[in-house]
Structure 1
Amino acid sequence: MSLPDIVGPGLDVLFCGINPGLLSAAKGQHFARPGNRFWPALHLSGFTPRRLSPAEQDELPTYGLGITNLVARPTAKAHELTPEELATGGLKLTALARRHRPKVVAVVGVTAYRTAFGRKTATIGPQDEPIASSRLWVLPNPSGLNAHYQLPALVELFGRLRSEVAQAG
């Protein structure tokens, strides 16, 4: 099962995951694995007034948020994707950003971002180059498999993004 893009007009932030995990694909829900920190980080950073469950993903546009993936193919781990799949996903994400014009596109996964967009030295945080007409941010992968970033660090980075969006109006 492929995951639906959760998009709409007037989004503040379009979050872009790498690709669906097997559980997410089976459920048809983004970031569905219980150990994933996307939904807690979204709430604790102030993007949502309460912690949404993956089953409530369709509520995201009411908060000015959307969600998509670079690659539609589900895998157990993101490193199973090919560089070509990620590069094609970068082109598709650019087209999606051009069509929906969110204020910010936030790619969650720096390694996937580097490969998809050919930015080998990109770091976490705001990027100098836009994606279509949208500001571009790179955030850490919120997967429980990413031991480099625990929930407090994710919340701090998501919060920096939220503050920038709020200041931009």
Structure 2
Amino acid sequence: MPDVVADGLRVLFCGINPGLMTAATGHHFARPGNRFWPVLHLSGFTPRLMKPAEQRELLSYGLGITNVVARASARADELSAEEYREGGRLLARKVTALEPRWLAVVGVTAYRAAFEDRKAAVGPQERRIGETRVWVLPNPSGLNAHWTTETMAQEYARLRAAAQD
């Protein structure tokens, strides 16, 4: 699954791993029940609701997308602890090279596993990767029933405001 990245992004969003539909289409967050694209718009990151096929347009807003683990799966719980740890190491190298202002990991469980930080919660983290600050966002998967589209958009908007400073 190719990343949507460039040097010096405002925010690099990091999904857990590609789902099967994402892998099949080549577009991040492609599953119809995934709320990433609506939440991105509702939070003010994009001026309109974008389709997954328009993902390269994110670069014009200073935004990008990557994943913690490259391997596609039907569900994130199919990934091993070692895959998460190795993904965290590779992600740290990628962030060091690209130097985004913020790394936004979408999924607290994935962040905890990738960076071995069991106490992490949604929101800004103390961890930095080089000069890049880190924010953990709720997972936009339709399976994440703890967050509504509206409450998720509020958390994403908190990051948007911080990323404008």
AA partner of residue 155 (structure 2): L
Match of 1:158 among 147, 156, 160: 156
Preserved contact between residue 97 and residue 133 of structure 1 (Cα < 8 Å)? no
Residue in structure 2 matched with residue 137 of structure 1 by the alignment? 135
Q: Is the Cα contact below 8 Å between 1:95 and 1:132 reproduced in 2?
A: no
Counterpart of 2:77 in structure 1 is 79
The secondary structure found in structure 1 opposite 2:150 is: helix
Quick one: which amino acid aligns to residue 21 of structure 1? G
Aligned to 1:107: 105
1:45-100 Cα distance to aligned partner (Å, 9 max, x none) = 11010011000001111000000000111111100000000000001110111001
Identity of aligned residues (%): 58
- In the TM superposition, what is the alpha-carbon distance from 1:150 to its structure 2 partner? 1.1
Aligned length: 165
TM-score relative to the length of structure 1? 0.96
User: Equivalents in 2 of 1:50, 1:135: separation in Å?
Assistant: 26
Aligned alpha-carbon RMSD (Å): 0.6
Q: Structure 2 stretches of 5 or more lacking a match?
A: none
CA distance in 2, matches of 1:23, 1:149: 22
What is aligned with 2:34?
36
SS class of match (2:110): helix
Moved over 2 A (4+): none
Counterparts of 2:40 and 2:15, CA distance in 1: 13
Alignment of 1:108-127 (within 5 A): 108-127=106-125
Structure 1: which amino acid aligns with 2:145?
Answer: A
Partner of 1:146: 144
Equivalent residue letter for 2:110: A
SS in 1 for 2:158: helix
2:65 corresponds to which letter in structure 1? Answer: I
**CA drift at 1:132:** 2.6
In structure 2, what residue type is equivalent to 1:88?
Answer: E
- Output the TM-score relative to the length of structure 2: 0.98
CA-CA distance at 1:131 after TM superposition: 2.0
**Residue 18 of structure 2 aligns with which residue?**
20
Q: CA deviation at 1:133?
A: 1.8
Q: Tell me the secondary structure at the aligned position of residue 128 of structure 1.
A: strand
- Point out where structure 1 has 5 or more consecutive residues left out of the alignment: none
Letter in 2 for 1:76: A
